[in-house]
Every structure is written in C-alpha cells, then in structure tokens.
Structure 1
Amino acid sequence: MKITVEAYEKGLKFRNGRLVEILGPGRYRVATIWAKERIAKVDLRARMLVLHGQEIMTADKVTLRLTAMAKMKVIDPAAALLSVDDYAGQVYADVQLALRAAVGGLELEALLGQKGLLGETVRAAVAERARGYGVDVLDVGVRDLILPGEMKAILNQVMEARKKAEAALILRREEVAATRSLANTAEMLARNPTLLHLKELEALERIAGQGGSIVIAPEKLGITLGERS
C-alpha cells in the first residue's frame, strides 16, 4: 500500500506502534506483511477555529454572548499527534477557558473599553500551553459581543447622560476661559490708562463712522467729534 504526503503536510510513520520517522511531501510504501506500519498525516496549514455563542458573565454579573475566533498552526507534528488526543479540540477548550477567565475578571464598562485588547489577552494566556502540544496560536479575535436587551437600553441611557455631561463641562470651561480673558484685559487696561483711552477712541470712531451719528466724547479724551453725514 502507498500513501501520499502532500506539500502542506508532514507524515508520521509508525512501525509496530512506534514512531520511527517523520516524512516530508512524497509518496511512500507502507509495509503490511512483515511489519505493521502506518503513516499518520498532519496538516501544517493555518486554520481557524470559531467559538460560537459563548455566554459569559462579567465581574459585575452581566451575562453577555460573544463569538471568538482563534487562528492556529501546527509547528511540531509529533507533539501535536502524540501529546493530546485532538490538538484542535484542545486549542478550542483552552481558548474557551481563557476567554471565560478574561471576561469574568472585568466589569462590563471596562470590557467594552478593552474589547480590542481582549483577544490578545486570551492568546497570551493559551500560547505557551499550546506550544507544549505542538501548536502555535497565531491570533485570537472577539466579535459579535451581544448584550441583553434591557442592558442595551441602560447602556444607551448612560452614554447619553455622559455625552450631556461632557458637553456641559466643555461649555463651563469656555465660560471660565472667556471670564479669565476679560479679567486679564481689565487688569491690563487698569495698569495702562493711555491704552484705555486709545480703546475708547477706537470705539468712538467706529460709532462716528455710522451715518447720521452724533457722538459726544468724554472731556478727558481731549477731542471733539461732531456730526458726520
């Protein structure tokens, strides 16, 4: 009997129950008469595991449902085949447990703020263990984070209140800045009477520039502005 090992595979050759050789791509004859041989093939291509509809409770007791995706690749065919019964299933279980631990350790608000980092947290938690059975966990991503209906309504109310509070804070800051600017201007004019008189002149000239205006200037300015047509 002959077995073909494809370009994206490794073949593990067993003879009488013992691993005797790791084979690259090619076609191999398997002895069945004088010895009991078999070739187990391991796919080395990256593959994606999808963890659908994981229901997990956050640290503040909010139950949510999410979907996670884990990208994995076999880096040690012998370890992957001999260390665990099902290396893909083991990665699935490890990611699932790490995901529950990560989500369960965060309150909902913190989780929503760190959603983009959650996948990397899970990947880091399982990476070393997975390498122990010959698998490299390349990436973990979280998508479709679904909140209960009533929690969505509450969260929307909180976000709306937060936006209003932020807008009010910005308005108060602008008012304080304007008041401070006026105070600084008043202080500067108080220290410089001549500058104050110049400002008064500018104001009077603008008023006098309007057709038909009669401007009476204060005596202290030492000027007279008559009627302008």
Structure 2
Amino acid sequence: MSSKSLLEVETAPSSSRARSKDVVQYNIQGQADNDDEGGCTSVFAGLLTFASMILILLTFPLSVWMCVKMVQEYERAVIFRLGRVKKGGAVGPGLFWIIPCIDSIQVVDLRTVSFDVPPQEILSKDSVTVAVDAVVYYKISNPMASVCNVTNASQSTRLLASTTLRTILGTKTLQEILADREHTAATILEQLDAATDPWGIRVERVEVKDVRLPQQLQRAMAAEAEATREARAKIIAAEGEQNASRALKEASLILSESPTALQLRYLQTLNSIAAEKNSTIIFPLPMELMGKYMYNQNQQM
C-alpha cells in the first residue's frame, strides 16, 4: 500500500430536489490507522510530534494561546497534520486543539454566498446577439471536498457559472430566452449543481437577472409591437361600426312601423337639444314634403 493517505469517495444518488445529486463522503484513514505505512515516514512524523509536544510543555502556559483555536458557528476548520488531512475530518464550531509546529488549518465558511455572473455576449440559436447576466446562490456542503478537491472553490464556481450560462443560452432562441426564464434558470441550476458536487458545493438558486438587446433590435421589436396594436385597434373600431350599423338598422325598422313612435323620438331629440341651452334648433322636414313643394314650384315656372 502507498505511504500516502488513502482518500476514498463514495457517491449515493438522491432525488430530494428532483435532480441528480451525489453526496460526496470522504473517509480519510489517518497515520495511526495505516499499519502498512513506510517506516521512515512514520518514525519521522513521530519524532516531530514528540518534539512539538516537548516544546509545548516547556513553553506552557504561553503555548496555550497558539494551540487553542476557535471557529464560528457557521465555519468549519480543515486540519492538515504534516501535509495530511487529520483523522476525523473538519472540526468546529467552537474551540479545538492543534499542534502549532506540525498542524495547519484552513477555515471554510458554510453560509450561502451570492454573486453576479458578468454579462455574457451570447449568440442565440436564431443568430441574435444578446447580453445576459444572472445571479447564483451557493453554499459549501462538504468542507473537506471544497478544500481537497479544488484549488479555489469560489473562483471555480464563478467561472463555471459563466461558461454554463453561455452554453445553455446558446441552444435557445431569442423568444425562449425572453419568455421562458424560469425553465432556463432551472436548467442552468441542474447542470451547475451536478458539476460542482464533487467540489462539495451545492448550488441553491440561479436567477436570470437581465437580458439586454441591441438598440436596432429593440427599435424593430417596438415598431412591430406598435403596428400590431394599430391593426388590432382598427379591427376593434370596424367591429364597433358594424355592430352600431346593425343596431341602427333594427331601430329604423321599429320606428318605420309606428309613425307615432317616430314623432315621440323627434320630440325627445328636441328636448335634449333644449336642455343644452342652444340658440339654434334644427327642425328636420320629411323629404316627401320637400319633393312636393319643389314640384309645385316647377309647375308655376
């Protein structure tokens, strides 16, 4: 067996969030559990540990301030002893003990982190250039994986979010990008979470924040929308005129059946005109009477 610590990764599928997810569990066998370790390395590590303990005892109680460390409730500390991960995994929160000469610690924040994905110039499926930016929320779920499996978990997640955003939106048309943001965000979340899972990072939420179109395309879309509204307004006005014509036709048929009703309607119209205090009142005359009068004038001439 190699003299290096054995790092085993066990993955188990989970469907709690309706997407593929692997839980990475690290079982680290420390130096004390490895019976087949090289003798030279074991003896050297033992000598360094013994010397460090002697130094701590000689400088007690001043050495206590260097041996006792503390992390907050939302933090975990990964301890490396002589370059190897200490048995037991990440420690915290609260106080814990280290050996200053041979131990080094790396503190990991477990709180949710949010960051803006820089605007990405994307060529959509229908050959339209758009600038899209998004917001990503993530948290470290496995401190050991975030320290041992990736150099910089935060920076790697940011770069991966940018490339995933470009890849996903490049397969969609402009209409799909504008009208189906929720589905697009869910797709980005699924792929981003699956990619960052070996790093001990769980992506909680992805939101497409803004989609910016070129000025020429905005003017063209505005002109198209304005023309559509004008055409709809003309259709509505024509339908109103048609309905009004039908109503007037039905009213004229009803009035033609009763001369008295026509006279009452005429008096009602005069009453409405008089209520407005107009100085001029127009009296309509039947065309038959005017025709007879014009015939008599022609006969006299």
TM-score, normalised via structure 1 length: 0.72
Quote the RMSD (CA, aligned, Å).
Answer: 3.4
Query: Contact (CA 8 Å) 1:11, 1:23: kept in 2 or not?
Result: yes
Residue identity (%): 19
Match of 2:203 among 137, 140, 156: 137
Match of 1:96 among 162, 173, 176: 162
Partner Cα distance (2:285, 2:251) in 1: 26
Cα offset for 1:9?
0.5
Q: 1:187 to 1:43 in 2, by over 3 A?
A: same
Partner Cα distance (1:198, 1:175) in 2: 33
Match of 2:171 among 105, 114, 118: 105
Match of 2:221 among 133, 137, 158: 158
Cα offset for 1:196?
6.6
Could you tell me which runs of 5 or more consecutive residues in structure 1 were left unpaired when the two chains were aligned: 220-229
Could you tell me which runs of 5 or more consecutive residues in structure 2 were left unpaired when the two chains were aligned: 1-65, 275-280, 289-301
Partner Cα distance (1:80, 1:196) in 2: 94
Q: 1:55 to 1:188 in 2, by over 3 A?
A: same
Counterpart residue type for residue 87 of structure 2: V
Match of 1:167 in 2: 230
Match of 1:45 in 2: 111
TM-score, normalised via structure 2 length: 0.57
Cα offset for 1:60?
2.3
Partner Cα distance (2:257, 2:148) in 1: 90
- 2:108 matches 1:23: no
Secondary structure at the residue paired with 1:140?
Answer: strand
Secondary structure at the residue paired with 1:23?
Answer: coil
Matches within 5 A, 1:1-229: 1-2=66-67, 3-16=69-82, 17-21=84-88, 22-31=90-99, 36-115=102-181, 118-143=184-209, 145-147=211-213, 151-183=214-246, 186-187=249-250, 190=253, 200-209=262-271
Partner Cα distance (1:214, 1:193) in 2: 18
